[in-house]
Amino acid sequence: DTGVSQDPRHKITKRGQNVTFRCDPISEHNRLYWYRQTLGQGPEFLTYFQNEAQLEKSRLLSDRFSAERPKGSFSTLEIQRTEQGDSAMYLCASSSLQIITGELFFGEGSRLTVL
Amino acid sequence: AQSVTQPDIHITVSEGASLELRCNYSYGATPYLFWYVQSPGQGLQLLLKYFSGDTLVQGIKGFEAEFKRSQSSFNLRKPSVHWSDAAEYFCAVAPYSGAGSYQLTFGKGTKLSVIP
């Protein structure tokens, strides 16, 4: 069990650029989640995958955000035309169908800074 | 919609003292409740959970929490704090299985500082 890994750990970009984050979940986990955490706040739900299917999306996930999990393994989160308000820590988590909703295993996060 | 309130933004305790972190939730049915801990540079880690049964639940690192339905609370406790417990603690609520949603809703967190 190597845990949930995220890449890159830190990304600095200029406003208007596109960025992509990758998440590799724990290998046997078929559920994958993306959360966003801003300074002084708790994590906020963005989206959820079960295998390759994206089953739930938050209203926070604007049209500039897209997430994929093409083969039901790793996932990517892309932000197009970044804005300063997108600066946050993007957290990925995974879980298995056999455990209860909410028991998530989190990665260390990818911090985005938009200048 | 579910929500979580953690009234204390920052708490400072002396090493060896007892600790209680408060959490109140709002949810239309019996929720699944969690406490997570986030240490600097590390991912969120599950401390303990409640979804049914005994209202006093034990977790890792000597933590426990008590579910009180009448007060809509799920407070986290530890009898004797260690310096390594300094971190940020998040209370969270999840909808029951079958609700069709998998959103975990977090509170804003309580930062714990420990004085040696």
B94 to chain A: which residues are within 8 Å by CB? 100-102
Return the higher-pLDDT residue of A37 and B1: A37
A106 to chain B: which residues are within 8 Å by CB? 36, 43-45
Per-residue pLDDT of chain A (115 residues; tens, 9 = 90+): 579 999 999 999 999 999 999 999 999 899 999 999 999 899 999 999 999 999 999 988 899 999 999 988 999 999 999 999 999 999 999 998 777 777 899 999 999 999 9
Q: Which of B47, B104, B105, B108 to mutate to test the interface with A (most CBs of A within 10 A)?
A: B104
State whether A103 and B46 contact (CB < 8 Å).
yes
pLDDT tens track for B25-66: 998 777 899 999 999 888 899 999 998 888 999 999 999 999
**Which residues in B54-88 are b (16+ Cβ under 10 Å) and which e?**
eeebebeeebbbbbeeeeebbbbebeebeeebbbb
> pLDDT at position A97, please?
77
d(CA A20, CA B31) in angstroms, rounded, equals 34
Residues sharing a CB contact under 8 Å with residue B25, sequence separation 6 or more, in sequence order: B2, B3, B4, B5, B31, B33, B72, B73, B74, B91, B93
> pLDDT at position A1, please?
54
Mean pLDDT score across all residues of chain B:
92
A108 → closest Cβ in B42, B92, B106:
B42
Residues in B 52-81 with any Cβ partner in A closer than 8 A = none
